[in-house]
Amino acid sequence: MNESSDAVHLNNHHRDTLVSIFQHPTSHNIDWKAVLSLLGAIGTVQETAEGKYHVTLDGTEHVMTRPRHKDIDVQTVVDLRRMLTESGYAELAQEVTDEGKEV
């Protein structure tokens, strides 16, 4: 992650989604569309004809499946945490969380 450029272009909705993904205990109401928006802001997302999503973050490709409902499940949260941690976004999530605590 490019520290200055990637952190700056995330809007408040993206930051809220990022924090929700890293929240403990795991949130059970993270909207799939919000996740796609976040992933599109920090990488590239391409939908295939089979309903799969190819997500590229920092040159690493991940394949995700659209959930049956509007919210993602716990396993998808775990997968997103791994993907985002590998790309350096866990630190940003912590910084955003810490900023909220200072208010």
Q: Looking at residue 27, what is its pLDDT?
A: 86
Give the C-alpha separation, 85 to 79, whole Å.
Answer: 10
- Mean pLDDT value of segment 93-97: 88
Q: Looking at residue 2, what is its pLDDT?
A: 47
Residue 51 near residue 57 (C-beta atoms within 8 A)? no
Angle at 81 between CA 80 and CA 84, to 5 degrees: 80
Residue 86 near residue 60 (C-beta atoms within 8 A)? yes
Q: Looking at residue 57, what is its pLDDT?
A: 94
Global pTM reads 0.86
